[in-house]
């Protein structure tokens, strides 16, 4: 039976897992679980992942949640995955674990929370939370600075050196990509000072094309719609009308 | 050259790494980095771990930070570590990664923050933060409930079944142990409803004795001093005098 990937491409760790499968030719079935409709909160989905979060996979009788754990499992259990994604060498592998662990308590607390609380919340019927957005912005700026000064300080192409990405590059870059839906000025203000991060995002994108762009298509669609709404709002004399959009229709 | 472990036993992930080394007979040198004196923030320590956090290790020319990554490295790179700590089987190993990843965004945000903001902050010259404590309490209660209902639901001795602990048991239990320094009534209120969690803590403790108790000794010393201060405060007509204590003197 084919590997099942439960995902919503609006969720950044879902995208990382899907891109990984596509780039590595893993035969899988993608099952969309629409977060904006609360489909991840149903009792049916709790049978797949009792934590009610995305992504999750089912491989035969084996179920697994948490995207980093899934990426590692796929790299180890499926033949044909190139070594650079998750090297067999214990030292290189440990460095990947270290970046991924750091990601949880740092970068991960930035882009998603910031984007939700400045932009996407109304589309999910939630209120915006400026305090949470401010906190998230701090996490984001501090995390991007650390990525630049620690892992990319010698102009490395990828976080752990070398000419090919690892699962750590893919996971972190997919998180940062969430910033695409922001107002362009805001996004530039956040990412602008981090030239090395920008180059690294581009390197990771190039190394995983055409799948990277294809899997991010939904995000770009949301970005475009939000931009149109913003211009319309500006022409109408201001006021956001993002409430009219619905993520589940994209 | 001997493995160097940079740690402060008041830090829960530091304790997990030290207990792991002791239980598995790994020859190491423990270098105390006193968090209460800010020794983790010095330029010298930044050479060891640029993130300025504990624990960190140096093994020859190899440096590593993040406790989960360190535990996995030690389990893989040192001979004689029993398989149950970090099984070679890809399915079992993946389940351990899943628990450890979940830990970062859930349980880890509970005990430490709660204890800091209700009890330890004045000892580090910081103000108490009731709002952060309330948030942390929510994370803690929800995380303990999930551990019980998902991983311990069938009265398992350890998180992933079996009769021996894994690095996931050790990491999570060391976090929960931080609650020991709370006022006894408060601790009972938090842990009381979770009988299975209590039994699992005891199982993990028993499986790692005498090292578990030895490495937690400093925490028990702080607990005792705080209790004495509380009784004294009560006898003096109330009022906390924890400010008189200093963690760095313990």
Task: State residue A120's pLDDT score.
Answer: 87
Dihedral over Cα of B65, B34, B100, A146: its sign: negative
Q: What percent of chain B has pLDDT over 70?
A: 94
Position A122 confidence tier, pLDDT thresholds 50, 70, 90: confident
* Domain boundaries A3-84, corresponding CATH code: 3.40.30.10
Tell me the mean pLDDT in the region B21-41: 96
Tell me the mean pLDDT in the region A100-124: 90
The residues of chain A that CATH labels 1.20.1050.10 are: 85-235
Phi and psi angles of residue A5, each rounded to the nearest 5 degrees, phi first: -115, 115
Task: State residue B231's pLDDT score.
Answer: 84
Q: Is the pLDDT of residue B171 over 50?
A: yes
Tell me the mean pLDDT in the region B102-106: 92
Position B245 confidence tier, pLDDT thresholds 50, 70, 90: low
CB atoms within 10 A of CB B45: 19
Nearest to A247 by CA among A224, A218, A216, A215: A218
Structure tokens that stand for B124 in this block: 């580090």
Tell me the mean pLDDT in the region B210-228: 95
Residue B15 to residue B6: CA distance in whole angstroms: 11
Structure tokens that stand for B207 in this block: 């499986």
Asked if omega into B210 is within 30° of 0 (cis), the reply is yes
Task: State residue A155's pLDDT score.
Answer: 83
Cβ-defined contact of A102 to B68 (cutoff 8 Å): no
Tell me the mean pLDDT in the region B115-127: 88
Cβ-defined contact of A68 to B101 (cutoff 8 Å): yes
Residue B146 to residue B190: CA distance in whole angstroms: 14
Residues of A in contact with B105 (CB under 8 A): 104, 108
Among the ranges given (A121-125, B11-15, B26-30), the one the predictor scored with the smallest mean pLDDT: A121-125
Each residue's pLDDT tens digit, A189-206:
999 999 999 999 999 999
Backbone torsion region of residue A218, taken as left when φ is above 0, otherwise alpha when ψ lies between -120 and 50, otherwise beta: alpha
The residues of chain B that CATH labels 3.40.30.10 are: 3-82
Residue in A closest to B142 by C-alpha: A51
Nearest to B57 by CA among B135, B133, B2, B5: B5
The residues of chain A that CATH labels 3.40.30.10 are: 3-84
Residues in chain A: 250
Match domain B3-82 to its CATH number in 1.10.3720.10, 3.40.30.10, 3.40.50.1110, 3.40.50.720.
3.40.30.10
Position B241 confidence tier, pLDDT thresholds 50, 70, 90: very low
Task: State residue B108's pLDDT score.
Answer: 87
For testing the chain B interface, which of A94, A109, A145, A168 should be mutated: the one with the most B CBs within 10 Å?
A94
Q: Which CATH architecture has domain B85-235?
A: Up-down Bundle (1.20)
CB A67 within 8 A of CB A17: yes
Please state the separation of Cα A85 from the chain's center in Å: 17
Task: State residue B240's pLDDT score.
Answer: 47
Strand partners for B57: B5, B64
Nearest to B66 by CA among B11, B25, B116, B110: B11
ipTM of the complex: 0.93
Q: Is the pLDDT of residue B169 over 70?
A: yes
Task: State residue B243's pLDDT score.
Answer: 47
Position B123 confidence tier, pLDDT thresholds 50, 70, 90: confident
For testing the chain B interface, which of A17, A51, A69 should be mutated: the one with the most B CBs within 10 Å?
A69
CB A181 within 8 A of CB A228: no
Structure tokens that stand for B150 in this block: 């998902």
Cβ-defined contact of A146 to B51 (cutoff 8 Å): yes
Phi and psi angles of residue B110, each rounded to the nearest 5 degrees, phi first: -95, -85
Range list of H helices, chain A: 12-23, 43-48, 67-77, 90-105, 111-115, 130-146, 167-177, 184-191, 195-207, 211-215, 217-235
Tally A–B CB contacts below 8 A.
77
Tell me the mean pLDDT in the region A66-73: 98
């Amino acid at each position: 039976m084919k590997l099942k990937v439960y995902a919503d491409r609006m969720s950044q760790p879902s995208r990382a897992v899907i891109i990984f499968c596509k780039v590595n030719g893993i035969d899988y079935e993608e099952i969309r679980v629409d977060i904006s409709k609360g489909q991840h909160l149903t009792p049916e989905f709790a049978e797949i992942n009792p934590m009610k979060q995305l992504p999750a996979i089912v491989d035969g009788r084996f179920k697994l949640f948490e995207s980093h754990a899934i990426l590692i499992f796929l790299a180890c259990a499926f033949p044909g995955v190139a070594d650079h994604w998750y090297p067999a060498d214990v030292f290189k592998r440990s460095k990947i674990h270290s970046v991924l662990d750091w990601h949880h308590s740092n970068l991960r607390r930035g882009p998603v929370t910031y984007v939700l609380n400045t932009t996407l919340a109304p589309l999910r019927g939630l209120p915006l939370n400026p305090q949470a957005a401010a906190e998230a912005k701090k996490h984001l700026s501090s995390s991007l600075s650390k990525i630049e000064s620690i892992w990319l300080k010698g102009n490395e192409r990828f976080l752990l050196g070398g000419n090919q990405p690892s699962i750590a590059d893919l996971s972190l870059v997919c998180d940062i990509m969430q910033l695409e839906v922001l107002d362009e000025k805001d996004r530039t203000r956040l990412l602008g000072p981090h030239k090395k991060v920008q180059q690294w995002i581009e390197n990771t994108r190039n190394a995983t094309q055409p799948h990277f762009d294809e899997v991010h298509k939904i995000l770009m669609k949301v970005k475009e719609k939000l931009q149109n709404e913003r211009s319309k709002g500006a022409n109408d004399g201001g006021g956001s009308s993002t409430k009219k959009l619905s993520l589940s229709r994209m």
